[in-house]
Amino acid sequence: MPSRIPRVTKTEALVLRHRRFGDADRVVTLLTPHRGKIEALAKGALRMKSRLAGHLEPIVHVEVVLAQGRSLDIVTQAQTLEGFRTVREDLDRLTTAMYLLELVDRFTVEHADASGLYALLHSSLVRLARGDGVQLVSRSFELVLLDVTGFRPQWDQCVACTASVPAEDAHWTATGGGALCASCAVRHEEAAVIDSRVLRVLRAIQQLPYEEAARIRLDGELAGRLELVMHTLMRSVSERELKSAQFVSTARRAALVEEG
């Protein structure tokens, strides 16, 4: 028989989101290293003098004490371990972090093992906070997330016939999950041409250690094309629109217009 969860537990967690519950309470969605994604009730969290206020906001690495409740665990204590202040102070990094949190929320179910995703999300937030490029962090996160959850895209070989796909003559399919050779592309209505530079970068990020992939230099046009491909793929796999992805893209376009 599976071991029972103790009535009171202490755990680290990353806050994914929260919602109002009644006049003064909140339900917070937490990603934990050992219990996966859980929802817990933070009583009185909306009150001005609440000791929980500020510790249970999205993009916070927190230590919580949870008491077993009838339907939801109750947060009895919360202490911030990392607030990722530099992420919150930069709009581009803030919207990127919210996008990563939304992806994790979409790709996980409650109480399922998520130790790999917990480590991935935490390391990605640390990278954003220390100033790594948002494009590299985002693309690396997306590709590892897809791999961990069983949706690894295939960029080297054709997803239809497994033939090697030269970068200079490649197509791709979001619904099929990767590259298509020219011969197979004609049989897939949704197939689109993919820029050879985009495909090479995706292959590099997927295959190389993060530190080596970090050496790749992305100009604005290439970064935009990479983002478009990966946002399209993530929407297809998650089978729903990603609100934060739309906001990220809109904000980046606005920033480019201002710079121009």
Confidence grade of residue 258 (pLDDT, cut at 50, 70, 90): low
Q: Is the pLDDT of residue 257 over 50?
A: no
Q: What is the pLDDT of residue 256?
A: 44
Of 20, 53, 83, the residue that ends a domain is: 83
Q: What is the pLDDT of residue 7?
A: 86
What's the domain count of the chain? 2
Looking at every residue in the chain, the average pLDDT score rounds to: 90
For 14-64, the pLDDT digits (tens) are 999 999 998 999 999 999 999 999 999 999 999 888 889 889 999 999 999
Indicate whether 38 belongs to any domain. yes
Co-location of 252 and 133 in the same domain: yes
For 182-200, the pLDDT digits (tens) are 999 999 999 999 999 999 9
Strands 36-42 and 73-82: parallel
Co-location of 55 and 135 in the same domain: no
Co-location of 124 and 203 in the same domain: yes
Co-location of 49 and 104 in the same domain: no
Q: Output Rg (C-alpha) for the chain, integer angstroms.
A: 20
Indicate whether 72 belongs to any domain. yes
Of 59, 83, 107, the residue that ends a domain is: 83
Q: What percent of the chain has pLDDT over 90?
A: 80
Co-location of 141 and 165 in the same domain: yes
Of 83, 112, 128, the residue that ends a domain is: 83
Residue 53: which CATH number?
A: 2.40.50.140
Q: What is the pLDDT of residue 1?
A: 42
Indicate whether 226 belongs to any domain. yes
Range of the domain at 169: 86-259
Co-location of 103 and 180 in the same domain: yes
Co-location of 72 and 119 in the same domain: no
Indicate whether 104 belongs to any domain. yes
Residue 214: which CATH number?
A: 1.20.1440.120
234 close to 245: Cβ distance less than 8 angstroms: yes
Co-location of 97 and 23 in the same domain: no
Co-location of 222 and 159 in the same domain: yes
Indicate whether 140 belongs to any domain. yes
Co-location of 27 and 98 in the same domain: no
Co-location of 110 and 186 in the same domain: yes
Co-location of 90 and 165 in the same domain: yes
